[in-house]
Amino acid sequence: MCDIDHFKRVNDTYGHNAGDAVLRHVAKVLASTIRACDGVYRWGGEEFIIVLERATVGEAAEVAERIRQAVMNSVCAFEDLAIRVTMSFGCADVNLNLTAEENIKAADERLYRAKATGRNKVISRD
């Protein structure tokens, strides 16, 4: 699970059309960084869920780190603006004994820790 850091600031500073451009930009970076068998899903607001088929939490953390760096090093061009953003990530294994909501909660708790401890990072362990 990942979240664009300080996304409200983008909307407040540049407007909601710029925020939409940032969402599209980030979605393109996410989609271009994962395999064809994986999936990226918007999870409300500025959050995304990335599902990596047959990947361990360690492998997911490596992918998340590549995405984090790609987003951080990219620029979203909107009108005459060059907007830069960063992202925070929480990685977790899917446990088939848990509900979808419980699995999402595990990743979300790690995402929350990434944001609470400075943002622009990947947390994959408790």
Catalytically active residues are 46
User: Identity (one letter) of the amino acid at 50?
Assistant: I
What is the C-alpha to C-alpha distance for residues 85 and 36, in angstroms, rounded to an integer? 25
Strands (E), the chain: 2-4, 39-42, 47-51, 76-78, 81-83, 87-90, 122-123
